[in-house]
């Protein structure tokens, strides 16, 4: 496996989807760790997902501009070596 993967991030208010290119911290991707980080860990909250969503368009924001929560953004899946790894597609469309 490679060290790179893509996080598919959805803005649940607008329905807009962006693909954020990511790098694994270790030499190889650990699928279980990625599932945890994006599903329940640090990257599961709206503030961090908003950061990644905006970075795709080379935009940056003040972290105080968004409340931390878990419904504004969703990551239905990650793309690792061409394979979709399901994360939290039940949140898609949760707001709005």
Domain-embedded: residue 39: yes
Number of domains in the chain: 1
pLDDT, position 90: 62
Domain-embedded: residue 20: yes
Domain-embedded: residue 74: yes
Q: Distance between CA 27 and CA 12 in Å, rounded?
A: 33
Tell me the pLDDT of the chain (96 aa) as tens digits: 567 899 999 999 999 999 999 987 666 678 888 899 999 998 999 989 999 999 999 887 776 777 888 899 999 999 998 899 999 856 655 554
Domain housing 68? 4-91
Q: Which secondary structure element, helix H or strand E, spans residue 11, and what is its range?
A: strand 4-11
Domain-embedded: residue 78: yes
């Amino acid at each position: 496996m490679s060290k790179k993967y893509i996080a598919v991030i959805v803005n649940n208010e607008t329905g807009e989807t962006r693909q954020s290119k990511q790098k694994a911290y270790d030499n190889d991707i650990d699928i279980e760790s990625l599932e945890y980080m994006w599903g329940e860990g640090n990257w599961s909250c709206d503030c961090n997902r908003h950061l990644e969503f905006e970075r795709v368009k080379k935009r940056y924001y003040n972290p105080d501009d968004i409340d931390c929560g878990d419904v504004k953004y969703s990551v239905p899946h990650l793309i690792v070596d061409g394979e979709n790894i399901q994360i939290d597609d039940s949140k898609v469309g949760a707001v709005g």
